[in-house]
Amino acid sequence: MHRHRLAVVSPQHRLDIRDVMGATDAKARSLIGFWRRMHGTTCKLAALALKYVECSADRAAVQRYVWEVCEWQQGNSATWTFVCWLIDGQGMWLRSFASKEDAQHFFEQSPEVVMRPRDGVADDVAQGARHRRAS
């Protein structure tokens, strides 16, 4: 089972996490604050597309996520990155792509494909949790 709400960037509108999710509880409010810092003063991420996703695997409790395609500035270069922000957990996980098109293609896939466990995901989630607690 899965549901989602989608927002994509337009020339007249800069994306904000509230375009796809509301501050419905403490976990959502915490993520909204963290996301805004990451897109403002901390990392200056530039969001291209956002999607709120609810999904569950094997009859487990429904988990909430915000998926994002962004340009992640790293020194003098930028990387197109897919970010899975965890609402009901701590942190996020990342996946870098060679092009904006590749990142968008991954973003547009079903939760069954995107949320499939991969090597290195646990490290990214732990890294994101450390950043979230520190901010």
The CA distance from 36 to 42, in Å, is: 9
Percent of residues, the chain, with pLDDT higher than 70: 78
CA distances from 40 to 35, 45, 61, 126, 135 (A): 9, 7, 32, 22, 13
pLDDT in tens, 36-56: 888 887 777 889 999 999 988
Q: Which of 17-26, 75-84, 92-101 has the highest mean pLDDT?
A: 92-101
Mean pLDDT of the chain: 80
Q: Where are the beta strands (DSSP E) in the chain?
A: 2-8, 46-55, 63-74, 77-86, 92-97
Domain count, the chain: 1
CA dist 67 and 85 (Å) reads: 6
Q: Which pLDDT band holds residue 122 (cuts at 50, 70, 90)? A: very low
Q: Considering the entire predicted model, what is its pTM?
A: 0.76
Distance CA(135)–CA(133), nearest Å, equals 6
- The proportion of the chain whose per-residue pLDDT surpasses 90, expressed as a percent, equals 39
Q: Which residues contact 109 (CB under 8 A, 6 or more apart)?
A: none
Residue 127 has pLDDT above 90, yes or no: no
Query: Which of 22 and 6 is assigned the larger pLDDT?
Result: 22
Q: What is the pLDDT of residue 3?
A: 55
Given this model, what pLDDT does residue 106 score? 96
Domain extent at residue 32: 2-134
**Is the confidence at residue 119, as pLDDT, over 70?**
no
Looking at residue 2, its pLDDT comes to 52
Least confident span in 68-82, 92-106, 110-124: 110-124
Angle at alpha carbon of residue 24, lines to 23 and 29, rounded to 5° = 40
